[in-house]
């Protein structure tokens, strides 16, 4: 019985490392059914998370949000750059007026 559990876990870990998340999840599920859900609940959840990231729609959504975030950050950076440039120009003019 211990050997079977060790084999299931070993197969699950090997498949997970190779990126075969569905197969790893199935092995963890078998181990969970045989030895208790609490022991493998987190492993199954992690496999499910990786499986959801593998779907093209999830990947494109993540890429779109990163792109949108980068665009927003660039716009904000440009606005700050222009603001500080204007401030420095005004201070230079004031300094020249004082001299």
The Cα 44–Cα 15 span in angstroms is: 13
CA angle 5, 13, 32 (to 5 degrees): 45
Ordered by start, the domain boundaries in the chain are: 1-54, 56-99
Q: Residue 13 burial (CB < 10 Å; 0-12/13-18/19+)?
A: middle
Lowest mean pLDDT among 6-15, 21-30, 56-65, 85-94: 56-65
Question: pTM above 0.85?
Answer: no
CA angle 46, 40, 9 (to 5 degrees): 95
Count Cα neighbours of 25 within 13 Å in the Cβ-side half-sphere. 13
| Average pLDDT, integer, range 7-28 | 90
Give residue-wise pLDDT tens across range 37-95. 888 899 999 999 888 876 555 445 555 555 667 777 777 788 777 778 788 888 888 88
């Amino acid at each position: 019985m211990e050997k079977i559990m060790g084999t299931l876990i070993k197969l699950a870990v090997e498949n997970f490392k190779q990126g075969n998340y569905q197969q790893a999840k199935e092995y963890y599920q078998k181990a969970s059914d045989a030895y208790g859900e609490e022991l493998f609940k987190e492993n199954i959840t992690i496999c499910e998370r990786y499986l959801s990231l593998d779907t093209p729609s999830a990947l494109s959504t993540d890429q779109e949000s990163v792109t949108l975030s980068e665009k927003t950050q660039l716009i904000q950076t440009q606005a700050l750059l222009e603001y500080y440039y204007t401030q420095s120009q005004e201070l230079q003019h004031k300094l020249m007026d004082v001299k």
